[in-house]
Amino acid sequence: MKFVSTRGGDVANLADALARGLAADGGLYVPQAIPTVDGASPSASVAATAERFIAPYVVGSPLEAHLGEICAEAFTFDAPLRSLDGEGDTLLELFHGPTAAFKDFGARFLAGSLARLPRDRARDLVILVATSGDTGAAVAAAFDRRPGFRVVILYPDGGVSARQAQGLSCFGDNVRTYRVAASFDECQRVVKEVLAAHADDPASRFSSANSISLGRLLPQIAYHAHAALAHRQGSDQPLNLLIPSGNLGDGAAAWLARAMGAPIGDIDFACNANLVLPDFFAGEAYRPRASVRTLANAMDIGAPSNFERLVHWLGGEDGVRAAFGCASVSDARIEQIIAAAPTRHGAIVCPHTACGLAMLEDKRAAGDTRPWAVAATAHPAKFETIVEPLVGHKVAVPPALAGYLARPTRNYPLAPSATELLADLGAAGWIKL
Ligand SMILES: *Cc1c(COP(=O)(O)O)cnc(C)c1O
């Protein structure tokens, strides 16, 4: 299987596409053809379903012989469909991994894959991550103490919750965390600058783990397919998906799962007060813009990076508009949903999941009786300062996350500058300049 750029100027095998992240012409890698999977078992584990759906993409690559082992190692936790109190309402719980957000699926698969690709072993690969919270922790946990890898995390100082900051700063060893006196967008700019400066160096020591990586996109197919197959076994209707969205990585993976044959019905995107997608789906031109801060901070995105993949697959912007539903959910509505969810749905939800639940409530009010699953993208305990006052009690922290949070924390201050980052990494002995 080959991977082509959405901009048409690059073709790569999986190993190169994974190592490079972004295609040479600035586009995103997509599979040359979308394979279909027949006869997948509805009772298989997430790991086995992942192997089944990812197998066509690794044909002919160095990962082919290792795929089963990579999936078994990455997907050691479940992604259950949990019934809510309303008829046909379910949560697809994606927060049972070590850092309690769905980013664990992608980060762990990417880490296992990169570890098995041939490369220059004489020098550690330094993975750069700009994060607004969940990605950095998932990537750090996935590469934690993995020989040959180092992780550099940049997060906006004051832009993440206290618990998220602790979760980003608890690794040490081969993970170095910077609290940057700037916004998430500035953190991302610094990462891009360092990567761009080393882009043409065949011995590049830097790589990224951002949401455009195929190594994060492909594994996310697995839990959508797994849930849809399990649901279809006991229902005469396919499962429809409501996906809290920012960069559209999860949404793009859901579309791929359906294109590959998973029994998924409609796919809708739930957004927060960042309007780039809601405005586009309402008929306006696609217009990236600066992000605004909301309670669902992992979705505070002004230029959804996977949009270009959807445009490619669906033959243009009109095709994308016709393929998905989308709505914007305000912070005030997020708070209402979180507060009411324990009695209304029998669930405690994080602010991102609340956006999906708001859309589900609107669909039910409009008479939609089909089965819908809301992707529960993070555990509510990660957003305790928002959730606990609204539900009126403490939310227990999942054991794996509690283990990380109990570690000593350490981070370093950084100005938003690529030069200063490289200088500090050099001074710390992490890179030779
Ligand atoms: C990353 C994230 C999202 C958004 O996912 P995309 O793939 O960027 O659309 C939603 N919720 C949570 C909790 C996240 O961490």
- Which pLDDT tens digits describe the chain residue by residue (433 residues)? 999 999 998 899 998 888 878 888 888 999 999 999 998 999 999 999 999 999 999 999 999 999 999 999 999 999 999 999 988 999 999 999 999 999 999 999 999 999 998 877 777 889 999 998 789 999 999 999 999 999 999 999 988 888 889 999 999 899 999 999 988 878 988 988 888 777 656 556 788 888 788 999 999 999 999 999 999 999 999 999 999 999 999 999 999 999 999 999 999 999 999 999 999 999 999 999 988 889 999 999 888 989 999 999 999 999 999 999 999 999 999 999 999 999 999 999 999 999 999 999 999 999 999 999 999 999 999 999 999 999 999 999 999 999 988 999 999 999 999 999 999 998 998 887 6
Q: In angstroms, rounded to a whole number, what is the distance separating the alpha carbons of residues 197 and 418?
A: 10
367 CB neighbour count, 10 Å cutoff: 6
Q: In angstroms, rounded to a whole number, what is the distance separating the alpha carbons of residues 29 and 22?
A: 7
- The DSSP string of 299-366 is G--SS-TTHHHHHHHTTSHHHHHHH-EEEE--HHHHHHHHHHHHHHTS----HHHHHHHHHHHHHHHT
Give the mutation target among 250, 309, 338, 350 for probing the ligand 1 site: most ligand atoms within 8 A of CB: 250
CA angle 300, 306, 312 (to 5 degrees): 150
Q: What is the DSSP letter of 173?
A: T
The dihedrals phi and psi of 406, each to the nearest 5 degrees, come to: -80, -10
Query: Does the pTM exceed 0.75?
Result: yes
Q: From residue 329, give the alpha-carbon distance in Å to each of 102, 264, 351, 362, 371.
A: 20, 24, 10, 11, 21
* Cα of 428 from ligand 1 centre, angstroms: 32
Instruction: Please compute, for residue 193, the number of CA atoms within 13 A of its CA located in the half-sphere on the CB side.
Output: 13
Q: What is the DSSP letter of 383?
A: G
* Cα of 377 from ligand 1 centre, angstroms: 6
Give the mutation target among 134, 139, 310, 359 for probing the ligand 1 site: most ligand atoms within 8 A of CB: 134
